[in-house]
Structure 1
Amino acid sequence: MRVGLYPGTFDPITLGHIDIMRRAAALVDRLVIGVAINRDKGPLFSLEERVKMVETEGARLSKLTGTEVVVHPFENLLIDCARDVGAGIIVRGLRAVADFEYEYQMVGMNRQLDDSIETVFLMAEAEHQAIASKLVKEIARLGGDVTKFVTPAVHDKLMERFG
C-alpha cells in the first residue's frame, strides 16, 4: 500500500490545499493529512478546529476519489511523523520559486535523516497559486471576500471568527 503524507498547518485549509490533496490522492492508496500543531506560528484556529476542517474536506475528497484520507495531528519532526504513519512519500505543494528554495533545503535535511522516504512536489494549479492561508486570514480580518479561496464551510468559520 502506498501511503503519502501531506503536512501543513492548514490555518485555515484553502482551495489550494484541497487541490494538492486531490492530486496527491491520485498517487497513493492512503493519503495522511498531517496537521502540524506548530505553536510558533500562533494559529488563528485551534488544533481541534483545524483538524475538524481538514477532516470535513478530507471526507469529501475520499468520496470523490476513492482514496482513503486520514487526518493526523503532529508536533514531532516531519520525517518522524512520516515514519509514524507508514508514509513512503511526503507530498509538498509549491506555489512559487520562493517556496522551492525552502522546500529544497527541507528535502536535503529529510534525506539525511531517512533516505527511504521520498518527497514529491506538486505545483499548485494556476488559479490557486496566489492563495496563502496567511493572506486569506488577513483579507477576512479586514472584511474582504474570501469565497474564491476557501470552501463555504471554511468561509463560515472565518466569518464566525472575524464577525
Structure 2
Amino acid sequence: MTLIRKAERFISIVDKIKQKGINPSSPMFIHAVRALACMSTHNFERKWTVYREFGFSEVDILSVFRKQPVCMRLSEEKLRKGLHFFMKQLKWDSTYLSKYSVVLMCSMEKRVIPRCAMLEILILKGVLERNAIVGDVFKLTEKEFVEKFVIKY
C-alpha cells in the first residue's frame, strides 16, 4: 500500500519523517513511512493535537513518534482512552508516558486494565508499593506477568 502512492506524496512523507528526527537508517523509519502513508496530513495533525490536549510538549510528542510511530495510527478514540487512563488514573506525566509509549498500543480491556487490577490487589495487600505499576509491566508477555505477579504471590 505504501509503495503504491504517487512519488510526490512518498517524497513528502519521507521529508516529513526526516524533519521529525527519524533517521532513515533507523528501524523505526519504515514504520513511520507506513504510518504516515496510511493517513492524511489532516488526520496526522489531529493526532498531534490530541497529545497536546493532554499536556504533551512538542518534545514529548516527537519522542512518542520517534519511538513508536505506529501510535499515530491509533484511532483518536483509542488514543484518548489510553492517554486518559494512564495520565488520569495512573497519574503518569507526559514525559513518562512518552518513554513508555508502547503501552498506548496495548489493549485496554485485555491487557492494561486486568493487569492494573491485579497489581492494585497486591498493593492493597501490602505486597507491592504504589509505584509498582510501571511501563515495563505492560511489556511483559502474559506468561511472564502471571509468573511474576500472580503465581509468585
- What TM bracket, shorter-length normalisation? under 0.3
Q: Which has the higher contact order (CA 8 A, sep 6+)?
A: 1
TM-score, normalization: structure 1? 0.25
Task: Give 1 or 2: higher strand fraction.
Answer: 1
TM-score, normalization: structure 2? 0.26
